[in-house]
Chains A and B, each alone.
Chain A
């Protein structure tokens, strides 16, 4: 629009653009090269892998997939379904209820509000590993071992996601909007679901991706809780494949399994990322 903008600055627009492209290309390379290496390694046999590295794919991809993933001793397909179920469940519960919690703190004024917001911020700082042992004991007592509930339901109380939602609301959700809805006679629950949630779409998409990916790649908690082969998630199965005995150990299988497990999460990411990279701003909110 304004060509003369460039003059007042040190660098002309063309040079700035060139620098931007150079940096972006470099960063993209640093982001993508790992996928390439994983893919190449997934196509190579055990012997080839022990003898260095190549840039050209080899011919053992199907063999690795077949022996390591589909017809190995570990139920990878079942593992993928388990992972999908848990990751989708966590992402949905986590984003919805975190929005709700943030909304409660952001919009309403009640006695314990100050306490609650401080409390949630404080507990956010507790590392998950800190409570893992207590968590495990609890799950044992509740007889929820080999059950997906302890992996999905706790996502409802996610201080980190709540914190993000609240920060986001602070910058985008004016209280006047809520008040306007009330004047129109909308119920609180209705307002939250039909007016607030749509406004939060970009934030929800962001956190849904993060939660999904975290859950998808989570090894720590599932490994504590899931023992039956049928219930296991992909990271546990990959860990098992990787800890195969020195004699039977085949890195090619491991790479194939990793490639196999990355695939769905990429699809989910590409789908959800439309909401983030789309570049459209929020309608409706005018400060």
Chain B
């Protein structure tokens, strides 16, 4: 797994050389803005009408305001709930599809068609998709007409007025938009697995399930980790879909308001101070959650290896 440390001394300067483009571009276009965001978070800095207030140094006051207000946890919770609601079916379906597509004994026909189709929803702009859903699920929209004409309900169901229907719709949209993406990632990972391993396993009489659990899944671990982390980061940044579905209100009663929607509200008053503090908090929350995922993953990886040996 690890590099062979002995030889490559003379080559190692190339490590730095190959890193130059990344470091240079990152430094200019992302590090500078990041530092200024953090810097801003210690200042009172907003606009009242056309009058600029600040910047006045206020220490941790912005952070205190955020905590005292108590909404931060609430919005974090909303965000995580909607992410998990969408992510669980997404990863399950993706694994299932990935397993089917890579299972030679299943010999699926039209698999190219299916593989192509599943990513298509991702090509629609999130805002357009959300707009479509809003129209479809409005009180007098087509879904309600269909449900009524089928006799399932007698009065229109107000999808936008129930917490779980709104959260469910947001999760469903995220699921539809992203499961193809995840499946593609997993398939690409599966293609990287040496086919001789499968052949050997089949010769040994392993079943499809065994192959999946014993070969595919362990070898897929790096990609799975990638999928989980990136999906979580994406989930914490959830914005377009609930924003447009709820017209920016996070209704009903703000229970579908995400962290970034909340951040966006602070930009109404150009509140770089409080907005900056919120951004930093968001960064910290993401970091902690990512660490947890990393930990769990490495631990199960080690556990798995132990089991294999015994």
Q: Residues of A at under 8 Å CB distance from B?
A: 1-2, 5-6, 8-9, 13, 16-17, 20-21, 23-24, 27-28, 30-32, 34-35, 37-38, 52-53, 97-98, 100-101, 103-105, 107-110, 112-113, 116, 120-135, 137-138, 150, 153-154, 156-157, 160, 162-164, 167-168, 170-172, 175, 179, 182, 188, 192, 202-203, 206, 209-210, 213, 217, 219, 235, 238-239, 242, 258, 261-262, 265-266, 269-270, 273, 276-277, 279-282, 285-287
Contact = CB atoms under 8 A, between A and B. Distances in A.
Given A53-B142, A138-B29, A126 B34 contact: yes
A244 to B, nearest CB: 14
Given A35-B120, A171-B189, A171-B219, A1 B128 contact: no
A137 B272 CA distance: 12
B86 to A, nearest CB: 14
B80 to A, nearest CB: 14
A262 B12 contact: no
A13 B120 contact: no
Contacts, number: 303
Interface string B115-153: 111111111111111011000100011100100000000
B14 interface: yes
A24 B97 contact: yes
Contacts of A138: 28-29, 32-33, 36
A266 B123 contact: yes
Q: In which size bucket is the chain B interface?
A: 35 or more
A168 B189 contact: yes
Interface string B93-126: 1001100100011111001111111111111111
B193 A129 contact: no
What does DSSP make chain A's interface, helix, strand, loop or mixed? helix
A110 B13 contact: yes
Given A53-B142, A100-B18, A109 B3 contact: yes
Contact of B145 (A53, A128, A163, A269): A53
B18 A104 contact: yes
B236 interface: yes
B52 to A, nearest CB: 14
Given A131-B37, A167-B225, A206-B185, A281 B117 contact: no
Given A5-B105, A273-B115, A276-B184, 7 more contacts: A2-B105, A108-B14, A131-B34, A134-B40, A154-B25, A262-B124, A269-B120
Contact of A130 (B37, B115, B207): B37
B198 to A, nearest CB: 10
B282 interface: yes
A124 B205 CA distance: 43
A239 to B, nearest CB: 8
B34 A277 contact: no
Contact of A109 (B15, B193, B229): B15
B124 to A, nearest CB: 6
A265 B121 CA distance: 11
Contact of A286 (B26, B114, B122, B196): B196
B192 interface: yes
B64 interface: no
A169 B140 CA distance: 52
Nearest to B281: A130
Contacts of B8: 108-109
Contacts of A24: 97, 100, 108, 114
A170 B223 CA distance: 10
B146 to A, nearest CB: 9
A163 B132 CA distance: 33
B268 interface: no
A252 to B, nearest CB: 13
A28 B114 contact: yes
Contact of B11 (A20, A38, A108, A287): A108
B21 A101 contact: yes
A236 to B, nearest CB: 11
A40 to B, nearest CB: 11
B287 A282 contact: no
Contacts of A120: 22
Nearest to B173: A34
B194 A285 contact: yes
B240 to A, nearest CB: 8
Given A31-B117, A97-B22, A167-B223, A258 B125 contact: yes
